[in-house]
Amino acid sequence: MKPTVLILCTGNSCRSHLAEGILHAAAGDLIEVQSAGSKPAGYVHPLAIRVMKEIGIDISGHRSKHLSEFLQQPVETVITVCGNADQACPMFPGQVNRYHWGFDDPAHANGTEEEKLTVFRRVRDEIKMVFQAYAAGRKDQVKRKVSA
């Protein structure tokens, strides 16, 4: 059984879905990647879906979920991507690791659609850099175990 990595944000509409999609693409064969929110918005932001499609990742099938959906299952690692979720984060069964990597909320971007897209792309790219590095570390960890 693959270990579960749960990515938390308050609304589970933007940042956590960007991170879930990127981490799943980068390390999905090693881990089960999920996302949830402490106060789910009830939707995945359309601009988040759009900027992910630009990099070849489809998150259109994602849904906004409450973190309580995961309280009864083993979660190896919890990663919070906003300060509010970090403060509201409970302990999960089997939780070994907890990280907080905060990112700006692109849902609060103002301006024209193109200006908002610029913010979504910037946050996506920041998340991509961090979560691809995390996935690379997980892959290295597996390689070390196999060669040991």
Lowest mean pLDDT among 20-34, 57-71, 89-103: 89-103
User: CA–CA separation, 131 vs 55, rounded Å?
Assistant: 14
Q: What is the CATH number of the domain that holds 71?
A: 3.40.50.2300
Q: Which of 82, 109, 117, 135 is catalytic?
A: 82
Q: Which range marks the domain in which residue 65 is found?
A: 4-147
Burial 70-104 (b: 16+ CB within 10 A, else e): beeeebbbbbbbbebbbeebeebeebeebeebebe
Task: Tally the domains of the chain.
Answer: 1
In the predicted structure, residue 89 carries a pLDDT above the cut 90: no
**pLDDT band per the 50, 70, 90 thresholds, residue 142:** confident
Of how many residues is the chain composed? Answer: 148
Does 14 qualify as catalytic in the annotation? Answer: no
CA distance 12 to 89: 13
For residue 87, name the pLDDT band (cuts at 50, 70, 90): low
Which of these is catalytic: 9, 57, 59, 78? 9
**Count of CB atoms within 10 A of residue 106's CB?**
24
Comparing 131 with 140, the larger pLDDT belongs to 131
| Active-site entry in 27, 36, 49, 89 | 89
CA 33, CA 133: separation in Å to the nearest integer?
A: 15
* Phi and psi angles of residue 9, each rounded to the nearest 5 degrees, phi first: -145, 170
